[in-house]
Amino acid sequence: MGSPARLAAAAAVLHLLLLARGAEPRRAPPHAAGRYLTTEERWMDQRVDHFSPTDHRQFKQRYYEFPDYHGGSGGGGPVFLRLCGEESCNGIPNDYLAVLAKKFGAAVVTPEHRYYGKSSPFESLATENLRFLSSKQALFDLAAFRQHYQGTLNARYNRSSGFDNPWFVFGVSYSGALSAWFRLKFPHLTCGSLASSGVVLAVYNFTDFDKQVGESAGPECKAALQETTRLVDEQLRVDSYSVKALFGAETLKNDGDFLFFLADAAAIAFQYGNPEAVCSPLTNAKKSGRNLVETYAQYVQDVFVKKWGTTVSSYDQEYLKKTTPEDTSSRLWWFQVCSEVAYFQVAPKNDSIRSSKVDTRYHLDLCRNVFGEGVYPDVYMTNLYYGGTRIAASKIVFTNGSQDPWRHASKQNSSEDMPSYIIKCGNCGHGTDLRGCPQLPFVIEGNPSNCSSPEAVITVRKQITSHIDLWLSQCQGPARSW
């Protein structure tokens, strides 16, 4: 998850006692050196509504399977359930989870989140058709998928239907929250979970997001960003078309959409471990007296849009209103934002980076304009249902990067049987434990060598490995009794 509706998972760890488990991993196939372990699509039938006893409609859910490392006697090694989040799922990433799978002799499976990519129950994304898009439905999808794939393994190895492999769940960002929530709601279906940058706390006015951007930027860069925002606000009042055109965003008729686009451009640099991409040109321009707005516009167009692949249209409310858009992820994630979790990244009252026009009213107006009346994020009920940062579960590892603005919606303090680790380094952001540095663009096997403190990443990975090793050993059994 990038900021809402955008963008939208680690190298050395402890040697695990695989031989003692009989889980000697297979040699990595040649294609494992690429970005994906596999892109071969598989399908299962999934219920549209898990909560209705009379609605028997189904849709095809896409998933991926990578069994090449699966070991153990008769395929009894662990299964790593890697969750896809709020975007099209195009394969199983070859990030640090691949390293863990090799070490543990684990199969890796990844189902696509309902509605996203090729797993939509409906062709039209009209608001009425989005009523089955929720984290609750998605969790039951995962439970059904888990049982489906376990049955597939049992048939493949000619085992009884009651045999259960040890499972472990992984996710980053929103899917990190799903990973934690899956362990909370279905503890009998997984030995544990990793919630990497897991945003388990629904937040209505998420002012801490902007505050963290300022802290991660540091005083000099923060001041340059704030001055740029002030200058853009002034130019919008004088000639809005010209300043938007400077950023290649003249199609954004709504000033709030444009200002949110600019705010995201800065935030994502820190979120994904590229602070110098935005700070170096701005601080240099400020020192030399060059035009800050033009300098920032160059960064936005060259890096945020061209290099990182951000589309201006994903910030356009008129585009988000389309029920059959080319980019479905933006409309879908905004619906989840507007109906369940909010995460409204509003400007703090004082000392903000983003424009004060990016406020609560902007977000509420967007929800109403894009989805109609009655779509509202009841964060109180979401947090009541899952527990927020007071989640009452066990055997969940929470990890966060020190520079990531999203960490303030995650569980940052350890509690009994739920350790939490902050990976501290200058470019440790969203999902650093699995993605390495930077977190964008993609880094093969989550290599940490480009982190400002590789040792900080390696240390936390050792802790993660230790927890996985312990929790898998505690729940291994030949069969289930239900």
- Would you tell me how many other CB atoms lie within 10 Å of the CB of residue 302? 13
Q: What is the mean pLDDT of residues 258-277?
A: 98
In a domain, 13, yes or no: no
Q: What are phi and psi of 418, to 5 degrees?
A: -135, 80
pLDDT band per the 50, 70, 90 thresholds, residue 17:
very low
In a domain, 305, yes or no: yes
Segment 419-425 long-range contacts (CB within 8 Å, at least 24 positions apart): 419/463, 419/467, 421/397, 421/460, 421/463, 421/464, 423/399, 423/456, 423/457, 423/460, 424/453, 424/456, 425/401, 425/451, 425/452, 425/453, 425/456, 425/457
Q: What is the mean pLDDT of the chain?
A: 93
Clarify whether residues 32 and 101 are in a common domain. Answer: yes
Are residues 255 and 359 located together in one domain of the fold? yes
DSSP 8-state secondary structure symbol assigned to residue 373: T
The residues that bridge with 111 in the sheet, in sequence order, are 63
Q: Are 224 and 231 in contact (CB under 8 A)?
A: no
Residues 398 and 365 in one domain: no
pLDDT for 1 equals 55
For this structure, is 113 an active site residue? Answer: no
Q: Which domain holds residue 181?
A: 18-200+387-475
pLDDT score of 7 more than 90: no
Q: What are 71's two structure tokens?
A: 């070991």
Whether 5 is in a domain gets the answer: no
What pLDDT digit, counting tens, does each position of 433-472 carry?
A: 999 999 999 999 999 999 999 999 999 999 999 999 999 9
Asked whether the predicted pLDDT for residue 269 surpasses 90, the reply is yes
Is the pLDDT confidence value at 30 over 70? no
pLDDT of 20 strictly over 80: no
pLDDT at site 11: 31
Does 365 participate in catalysis according to the annotation? no
DSSP3 helix / strand / coil % (the chain, rounded to 5): 45, 10, 40
| Shared-domain flag, residues 182 and 220 | no
Is the pLDDT at 53 greater than 90? The verdict is yes
**138 with 151, same domain?**
yes
Phi, psi for 151 (deg, rounded to 5): -65, -40
| pLDDT tens track for 116-136 | 999 999 999 999 999 999 999
- Active-site residue, selected from the candidate residues 3, 120, 173, 402: 173
Predicted confidence at residue 6, as pLDDT, reads: 54
Last residue of a domain, one of 330, 363, 379: 379
How far is residue 445's CA from residue 8's CA, in Å, rounded to a whole number? 19
pLDDT at 5: 45
- Distance between CA 386 and CA 177 in Å, rounded? 10
The sign of the CA dihedral 240, 241, 246, 251 is positive
For residue 332, name the pLDDT band (cuts at 50, 70, 90): very high
| Together in a domain, 219 and 324 | yes
CA distance 382 to 201: 8
In a domain, 125, yes or no: yes
396 DSSP β-pair partners = 193
Confidence (pLDDT) at 33: 58
Predicted pLDDT of residue 470: 97
Residue 8 within a domain: no
What pLDDT is stored for residue 160 in this prediction?
A: 87
What residue type is 14 in one-letter code? L
Overall residue count recorded for the chain in this entry: 482
- The per-residue pLDDT for 31 is 42
Q: What are the Cα distances from residue 218, in Å, to 23, 226, 387?
A: 47, 12, 33
Number of domains in the chain: 2
Calculate what percentage of the chain has a pLDDT beyond 70. Answer: 92
Catalytic residue among 113, 363, 408, 430: 430
Residue 4: the pLDDT is: 44
Confirm whether 4 is domain-assigned. Answer: no
- DSSP assignment of 339-351 equals IIIEEE-PPPSSS
Task: Indicate the DSSP class of residue 193.
Answer: E
Reported as a single tens digit per residue, the pLDDT across 150-191 is: 999 999 999 988 899 999 999 999 999 999 999 999 999 999
Same-domain check for residues 213 and 322: yes
Q: How confident is the model at residue 72 (pLDDT cuts 50, 70, 90)?
A: confident
Percentage of residues in the chain having pLDDT higher than 90: 90
Look up residue 138 and give its amino acid.
A
Instruction: Give residue 465's pLDDT.
Output: 98
Q: How far apart are CA 309 and CA 471, in angstroms?
A: 39
Per-residue pLDDT for 3 more than 90?
no
Q: What is the pLDDT of residue 29?
A: 41
Nearest-angstrom CA–CA distance, 352 and 266: 12
Phi-psi region of 416 (alpha: psi -120 to 50; beta: other; left: phi over 0): beta
CATH of the domain at 165: 3.40.50.1820
Average pLDDT over residues 378-391: 98
Contacts of 336 (CB under 8 A, 6+ apart): 86, 133, 134, 135, 174
φ and ψ at residue 469, rounded to 5 degrees: -60, -45
Domain co-membership, 127 together with 36: yes
**64 beta partners:** 110
**92-109 pLDDT per residue, tens:** 999 999 999 999 999 999
The answer to whether residue 46 is domain-embedded is yes
Are 372 and 417 in the same domain? no
213 — pLDDT class (breaks 50, 70, 90): very high
* Distance from C-alpha of 302 to C-alpha of 308, rounded to nearest angstrom: 9
Terminal-to-terminal C-alpha distance of the chain: 36
Our CA angle for 367, 256, 270, nearest 5°, is: 95
- The residue out of 350, 379, 408 marking a domain boundary is 379
Q: Is 31 a catalytic residue?
A: no
Of the listed 164, 255, 404, 433, which one is catalytic? 404
Residue 480 inside a domain? The answer is no
DSSP 431: T
Q: Report the pLDDT value the prediction gives residue 295, as an integer from 0 to 100.
A: 98
What letter would DSSP give residue 16?
P
Task: Tokens 């938007």: give the residue.
Answer: 244
Burial class (CB in 10 A: 0-12, 13-18, 19+), 349: exposed
Distance CA 172, CA 179 (A): 8
Please give the Cα distance from 56 to 64 (Å, whole number). Answer: 25
pLDDT of res. 407: 98
Residue where one domain finishes, among candidates 328, 357, 379? 379
Is residue 55 domain-shared with residue 180, that is, in the same domain?
yes
109-120 mean pLDDT: 98
Are 163 and 226 found together in one domain? no
State the Cα–Cα distance between residues 232 and 207, nearest whole angstrom.
21
- Going 319 to 324 to 326 to 329, the CA torsion angle's sign is positive
d(CA 246, CA 291): 12
Q: Are residues 214 and 154 in the same domain?
A: no
pLDDT-derived band at 476 (thresholds 50, 70, 90) equals low
CA distance 198 to 407: 8
